[in-house]
Amino acid sequence: MSDYQKLAFVGDVGSGKSTIIRTLSEIEVVDTDKRATVDIGKEFTTIGIDYGRINFNDSMALGLYGVPGQKRYSLLWEHVNKSLWGLTLLVKFSGAPNTVDLSECLRFFDPVKTGTPFVLGLTHVDEVSNKNVSAVADILKSFLLDHELPGVVIPVNCLDRKSSMMIPYFINSMHNAKAI
Amino acid sequence: MFKQILYCSTANGQWSEHVPTAITDIIVQGRRFNRANNITGFLCYKGGYYLQAIEGPTEVITSLYKRICTDSRHYDVNTLLDEANLTTREFQAWSLKLASTSPVSEKVALFIDKKWPALKNNNKAALKILSIFYKAQVRSNYYNADFPSLRKVGQIEVKLLSVPTITSAQVGNHDLLDIYGHLIMRWRTFYDLLGTFRLKEYELYNLLHQLYQSDDLAIRKYQVQHANNTFRNQSKPRQSDSNFYSQLRSFFRRYV
């Protein structure tokens, strides 16, 4: 196995891609956040690829790539989708998640075909009750199962390092399970 | 005596693409009410329609169904089945299962999508749908229900036929996530897991219980496709020799 691996975070506007990469990365994050020109509920938004890195030692590192989830950015998807180590879809908590962009993403990255370990991170859940989280997780799970993916939905707080680390940790577990 | 009703209806109100916006409220309120009133069943949505089965004590179901019929979140409610005087219930594992159509059966999806009016006055077809969901429940619930005692546990092949929801509180639990990751990728026997994680039997037993606490389970096609067909009983403890994995693992253990 190569000593450099790529972990992609794909998600809609405001799902927390840049935040989680900033939380996880050990290097200064190369981000492409620009001031939003229309009101999207926040000042800055990602228009290119965010890049961060976790170094384990001198020769081993995990590259973190954040890519927008809308289909018009599929050019960036192609760039990132080469030999991925893991794929994370980030979805912002809401009563009715937007599954259309998610479908496009999944069709493109197709983790079932490539065998890439896949996790769906449910973000912005810190102030939501557990019951609501599990109800929305159910909707997302049934959506993932419709795409023949295992419905792995992990609630994640992008601002918290411990919580964010669970995503690469979990993908790592899946890799290990494949290997042994 | 129990009463069981199966109905389909047309969803009202807003849909955010393929998901009705009211679904979270329906599920959260429904589960709370159902648990309190000893009601079980499932809810399925597809293509603008709902299909729901409810079962429970006769009086409770009768009054609940009256309220359901007048609920503004849907209209055109059609009763497909109405069975009274039942001695057992069929969906006792599900307080209000949010069912996905396609993993259960393409046939169900087809019924709801295109042929659902054909279900009206067609007892046989309605019963067939119920039996599909029933089988799904039995299969998904097998491993959930089947950790009754430590003595028995040794013979169990642990297969993740259902996908539990990890709660925010469990996110920091490394062992739990490790086991979950392993079960997602391939089928395991209990001793496989024991060997891999070097846990004590009761620790693994507890973790599996934690993992499967949810009563809402789903069938996984993915697992069938990726299943390792030969089960390795009593296999030797093993760790991956992948350098990247072990480095990463120790890194996370250190920093998390």
Residues B181 and B206 in one domain: yes
Consecutive H or E run containing A55: strand A50-55
Residues B182 and B137 in one domain: no
In angstroms, the separation between the Cα of residue B125 and the nearest Cα of chain A is: 23
The one-letter amino acid at A4:
Y
The confidence score (pLDDT) of residue A125 equals 85
CA atoms within 13 A on the CB side of B89: 23
Residues B153 and B58 in one domain: no
Residues B173 and B122 in one domain: no
CATH of the domain at B128: 3.30.70.100
Confidence of residue A83 (pLDDT cuts 50, 70, 90): confident
Q: How far apart are CA B105 and CA B91, in angstroms?
A: 17
Say which residue, A44 or A60, is predicted with more confidence: A60
- Average pLDDT estimate for B130-154: 47
The confidence score (pLDDT) of residue B232 equals 36
Q: How far apart are CA B207 and CA B194, in angstroms?
A: 11
Does the pLDDT value for residue B20 go beyond 60? yes
Q: Does B48 touch chain A (CB under 8 A)?
A: no
**Which residue of A146, A162, A180 is in closest CB contact with B256?**
A162
Does the pLDDT value for residue B222 go beyond 60? no
Residues B65 and B132 in one domain: yes
Domain boundary among B87, B113, B141: B141
Q: What is the CATH number of domain A4-179?
A: 3.40.50.300
- Average pLDDT estimate for B32-61: 85
Q: Does A109 touch chain B (CB under 8 A)?
A: no
The confidence score (pLDDT) of residue B66 equals 94
Residue B3 CB partners (closer than 8 Å, separation 6+): B55, B56, B57, B58, B61, B62, B82, B83, B84, B85, B86
**Which residue of A54, A134, A142 is in closest CB contact with B218?**
A142
The confidence score (pLDDT) of residue B114 equals 52
The confidence score (pLDDT) of residue B55 equals 92
- List, in sequence order, the alpha helices (H) in A25-151: 74-80, 99-109, 111-114, 130-146
Residues B209 and B244 in one domain: yes
Q: Of B213, B121, B218, B116, which Cα lies nearest the Cα of B167?
A: B213
Residues B23 and B132 in one domain: yes
Q: Of B165, B170, B207, which Cα lies nearest the Cα of B190?
A: B207
Which segments of B40-199 are extended strands (E)? 40-46, 49-57, 74-86, 97-99, 157-158, 188-189
Say which residue, B181 or A122, is predicted with more confidence: A122
Does the pLDDT value for residue B216 go beyond 60? no
Name the pairing type of β-strands B49-57 and B40-46: antiparallel
- Average pLDDT estimate for A57-85: 81
Q: Parse chain A into domains and list their residue ranges.
A: 4-179
Calculated CA dihedral for residues A123, B49, B105, A115, nearest 10 degrees: -30
User: Domain limits at B220?
Assistant: 146-255
* CB-count exposure of residue B1 (10 Å: 0-12, 13-18, 19+): exposed
Indicate the range of A19-28, A162-171, B89-98, B140-149 predicted with least confidence.
Answer: B140-149
The confidence score (pLDDT) of residue B54 equals 93
Confidence of residue B31 (pLDDT cuts 50, 70, 90): confident
B69-94 per-residue burial string, b: 16 or more CB within 10 A, e: under 16: eeeebbeebbebbebeeeeebbbebb
Residues B10 and B137 in one domain: yes
Say which residue, A26 or A6, is predicted with more confidence: A6
Q: Which residues on chain A are in Cβ contact (under 8 Å) with B223?
A: 150
User: Are A123 and A156 in contact, with CB atoms under 8 Å apart?
Assistant: yes
In angstroms, the separation between the Cα of residue A155 and the nearest Cα of chain B is: 6
Say which residue, B222 or B82, is predicted with more confidence: B82
DSSP letter string, B187-251: -EEHHHHHHHHT--HHHHHHHHHHHT--S-----HHHHHH--SS--TTPPP-----HHHHHHHHH
Q: How far apart are CA B27 and CA B134, in angstroms?
A: 20
pLDDT, tens digit (0-9, with 9 covering 90-100), for A90-101:
998 876 777 777
Q: Two tokens at A150?
A: 């295992």
Say which residue, B188 or A88, is predicted with more confidence: A88
Residues B173 and B130 in one domain: no
Q: Which residues on chain B are in Cβ contact (under 8 Å) with A143?
A: 18-19, 100
Domain boundary among B141, B167, B196: B141
Confidence of residue B132 (pLDDT cuts 50, 70, 90): confident
Highest mean pLDDT among A59-73, B50-64, B241-255: B50-64
Confidence of residue B218 (pLDDT cuts 50, 70, 90): very low
Residues B34 and B100 in one domain: yes
CA of B181: which chain A residue's CA is closest? A174
Residues B237 and B169 in one domain: yes
Number of domains into which chain B is organized: 2
The confidence score (pLDDT) of residue B19 equals 64
Neighbours of B42 (CB within 10 A): 24
Domain boundary among B141, B170, B193: B141
Residues B40 and B123 in one domain: yes
Does the pLDDT value for residue B60 go beyond 90? yes
B143-162 per-residue burial string, b: 16 or more CB within 10 A, e: under 16: bbeebeeeeebeebebbbbb
Q: Of A79, A88, A69, which Cα lies nearest the Cα of A8?
A: A88
ipTM over 0.85: no
The confidence score (pLDDT) of residue A69 equals 78
Q: Of B100, B63, B70, which Cα lies nearest the Cα of B9?
A: B70
Confidence of residue B63 (pLDDT cuts 50, 70, 90): very high
